[in-house]
Amino acid sequence: MELIRAKDYADMSRKAANIIFAQVVLNPKSVLGLATGDTPLGTYAQLIEKQKAGDCSFAQCSSYNLDEYVGLSADHPQSYHYFMRTNFFDAVDIDAANTHVPDGAAADVEAACTEYDRMVAAAGYPDLQLLGIGRNGHIGFNEPGDTFPRGTHVVDLTESTIEANSRLFDSIDEVPRQAISMGIQTIMSAHRILILASGEQKAQAVHDMVLGPITPQVPASILQLHPACTVIADEAALALC
Ligand code: PGA
């Protein structure tokens, strides 16, 4: 695990964007694993600027997102489909047909999970997987538990995650209780992983991910075993390291 120390959120975002930019320049047909949340927003904004300036193109890239709420349609403003379209896909030259987000509105969500794993595997797994980390150490929606989930699966969200995500909904009662998430084995199959963290509320999770034992109680701790994992965290998120 390689640790890059960033000064603040803006610095973290620039550093992350530069790595993704280099990936896409080196391999214009990159398969990108993408994430939602507040953390990668600045990174996406930087990448949009770079693409608009003509410095890189996503036209031949494909993307696979980590997760989606169960029960929200793709046009629901809190869905991750909507997040990705409005914060990244619609602003760059990626072909919408090559972007993929798990189908939380599927009639058969279990079948949707199996199909998603099949598609990610058929794509050869992401060349670069972008991740955020939850306050409880989750990656994607792989919540702390007794085992590391393997493939894409349906998750019961923890109270901590529901509470953390409630800021984006009108009330906590509107936050979905379940999500579809890529599993740990799927995430670990990415050829390179870039995990970002900003702010003091992530300090304990970053400490446990980087310095703690590898345990499903801290899902991100498994990344210690990935051969090409880079952590970019700002000073506040590194306060306990
Ligand atoms: P955040 O979420 O980027 O909104 O903090 C990260 C996560 O929960 O994985």
For the CA of 39, the closest atom of ligand 1 is: 3
**Residue 14 belongs to some domain of the structure:** no
Residue-level pLDDT, tens digit, the chain, 241 residues: 999 999 999 999 999 999 999 999 999 999 999 999 999 999 999 999 999 999 999 999 999 999 999 999 999 999 999 999 999 999 999 999 999 999 999 999 999 999 999 999 999 999 999 999 999 999 999 999 999 999 999 999 989 889 988 988 999 999 999 999 999 999 999 999 999 999 999 999 999 999 999 999 999 999 999 999 999 999 999 999 9
**Beta carbons within 10 angstroms of residue 15's beta carbon:** 20
Q: How far is the CA of 26 from the centre of ligand 1 (A)?
A: 28
**Residue 9 belongs to some domain of the structure:** no
**Residue 68 belongs to some domain of the structure:** yes
| CA separation for the pair 222, 182 (Å, rounded) | 14
For the CA of 165, the closest atom of ligand 1 is: 4
**Residue 3 belongs to some domain of the structure:** no
Which residues form the pocket of ligand 1, taking CB atoms under 6 Å from any ligand atom?
37-39, 132-134
Domain count along the chain: 1
**Residue 10 belongs to some domain of the structure:** no
Q: How far is the CA of 39 from the centre of ligand 1 (A)?
A: 6
| Nearest CA owner, ligand 1 atom 7 | 134
**Residue 5 belongs to some domain of the structure:** no
- Residue 192 φ/ψ, nearest 5 degrees: -145, 140
**Beta carbons within 10 angstroms of residue 109's beta carbon:** 21
**Residue 209 belongs to some domain of the structure:** no
Query: What is the predicted pLDDT for the residue at 56?
Result: 95
Looking at residue 157, the DSSP 8-state letter turns out to be P
Q: Which two tokens stand for residue 208?
A: 């446990």
Query: What is the predicted pLDDT for the residue at 158?
Result: 87
- Residue 96 φ/ψ, nearest 5 degrees: -55, -30
- Active-site positions read 67, 136, 138, 143
- How long, in residues, is the chain? 241
* Structural domain boundaries enclosing 190: 24-200+216-232
* CATH number where 69 lies: 3.40.50.1360
**Residue 162 belongs to some domain of the structure:** yes
Q: How far is the CA of 112 from the centre of ligand 1 (A)?
A: 23
DSSP reduced 3-state for 18: helix
Give the residue from 129, 2, 157 showing the smallest Cα distance to 68.
157
For the CA of 141, the closest atom of ligand 1 is: 9
CA 122 to chain centre: 20
DSSP 19-88: HHHHHHHH-TT-EEEE--SSTTHHHHHHHHHHHHTTS---TT-EEEESEEETT--TTSTTSHHHHHHHHT
Q: Are 231 and 130 in contact (CB under 8 A)?
A: no
Query: What is the predicted pLDDT for the residue at 1?
Result: 96
Tokens 């696979």 belong to residue: 64
